[in-house]
A = this chain, B = another copy of it.
Amino acid sequence: MTREPYGQRRDDDRSAVRRPASIKDVAAAAGVSPTTVSHVLSGNRPVNEQTAARVRSVVNRLGYVPASLARSLQAGSTSVIGLLIPDISNAFFAELAKGAEDAAHDLGYGLILCNTEFDAEREDRYLGMIRSRFVDGMVYASGSAPSRRRLEALMGKFPIALADEEVDGLERALIATADHEAGGRLVGEHLRELGHRRVLMLTGPRGLRSGVARATGFVRAFGGHVVERVGDFKEASGHRLVAKLLEEGGLDCTAVFAANDLMAFGALAALTEAGLSVPGDISVVGFDDIRAASQINPPLTTVHQPAYDVGRTATAQLLQYVSRGEVPPASRHTLPVTLKVRGSTAPAAR
């Protein structure tokens, strides 16, 4: 096993320890002061062309690269932000992450992926990164009911933008979400027009504003009877809830409206396994419009959420202020959703 630490041998020091060249090493080798080296590289002030050339040559020879850490310390910011999400393998959050990464990259920021797996402890640890100022800001798209207190305290002191999910009591914040209420409304109208009168609504965890908004929009537009069951956004929970109702013989509905596509997939599977036909016997509607939604059989009718734009907008908002060192004012972006009518919905069975 090789045991040498990383780094490069200093030209002027044959000690046993290799370490990366510092600005001092360059200065010494070029016969100038560190200040001059700094200015040659930054262009922040004019340097004699001969001197500059000599410095550059030494920089190349030693392979000197300024330590961004030291620069950050002195500058008071790291040009890195965090993106806190529950599950990167969920296509919705992957799209959101892509939007966030694009926006960050555009402004020269790095993005730390904070994947919480819905784990509060893990979320806490990641939030510590903003308190210890390792990140300049945080895009919070937890997806699970966040601890209001903690978040509230943090939002007063650090730049945090909310993506995809609002948080009760934090109205004065940077927020980018899809129009969940409109999404619910679109589904409600669609099912009503198809003649459905009794619908099973599978929700996500309680306490999510987006869920409330969706339900509100849906119930109001639908007007019929709504049976509600609480799940956790995972495919398994959609399957479990529907299977249980079927066993108990209590699924007297003609349609299922799931909180997201994954749960809709689970419901679909449970219905099919029970010998029911979708949409012949029962219609199914999802939410998110992840890629698989259009590819499953039957193709899923669902609400398209602009996941990429939600991530991009939240991040761009955040950085607009972070990059100026200002406290962001409240600012809410509600992005439009659309209903994708596919093969999983049909007129209500008589």
Interface residues of A (CB under 8 A from B): 1-8, 20, 63, 65-70, 72-73, 78, 80, 83, 87-89, 91, 94-95, 97-98, 101-102, 105, 110-115, 122, 125, 128-129, 131-134, 157-159, 265, 291-292, 295-297, 308, 325-329
Contacts and interface: CB of A to CB of B under 8 A. Distances in A.
Contact of A68 (B83, B94, B97, B132): B132
Given A68-B129, A111-B112, A292-B295, A158 B1 contact: no
A98 B112 contact: no
A111 B113 contact: yes
Contact of A131 (B65, B157, B295): B65
Contacts of A101: 88, 113, 115
Contacts of A134: 68-69, 72, 80, 110
Contacts of A6: 157-159, 325, 327
Nearest to A94: B94
29 contacts: A1-B326, A2-B328, A2-B329, A3-B326, A3-B327, A4-B327, A6-B157, A6-B325, A6-B327, A8-B157, A20-B133, A66-B132, A68-B129, A68-B133, A69-B72, A69-B133, A70-B73, A87-B98, A88-B94, A89-B91, A89-B95, A89-B308, A94-B94, A97-B113, A105-B125, A110-B129, A111-B112, A295-B295, A295-B297
